[in-house]
């Protein structure tokens, strides 16, 4: 499922950056529960939020999208 794949990738890039959900939330100006909802697929991201997450974890937005697309079954 697409939402599950995106949620897993979001979690993985956060973990790769060595950030907790709370730390990422602070970096993007959101609450920890909001980040949790992203990672569980319960909250949709818009492009601006995704760009902020990528900046916070040090991942290029285009590279993130390529990783997402490469993981397609």
The domain segmentation of the chain, as residue ranges, is 2-70
What CA–CA distance (Å, rounded) separates 13 from 10?
Answer: 5
What CA–CA distance (Å, rounded) separates 37 from 71?
Answer: 21
**The two three-digit tokens of residue 32, written as one number:** 């920890």
Residue 72 has pLDDT above 80, yes or no: no
2-70 folds as 434 Repressor (Amino-terminal Domain) (1.10.260)
Note the pLDDT of residue 1: 59
Alpha helices of the chain — where are they, by DSSP H?
Answer: 2-16, 21-28, 32-40, 47-57, 61-70
Note the pLDDT of residue 58: 97
Cα torsion 30, 31, 34, 38 to 10°: value is 60
Residue 18 has pLDDT above 80, yes or no: yes
pLDDT band at 21 (very low <50, low <70, confident <90, very high): very high
């Amino acid at each position: 499922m697409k939402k599950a794949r995106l949620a897993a990738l979001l979690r993985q890039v956060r973990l790769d950056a060595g950030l907790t959900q709370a730390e990422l939330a602070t970096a993007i100006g959101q609450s920890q529960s909001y980040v949790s909802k992203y990672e569980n697929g319960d909250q949709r991201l818009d492009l601006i939020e995704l760009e902020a997450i990528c900046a916070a974890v040090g991942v290029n937005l285009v590279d993130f999208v390529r990783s997402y697309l490469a993981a397609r079954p």
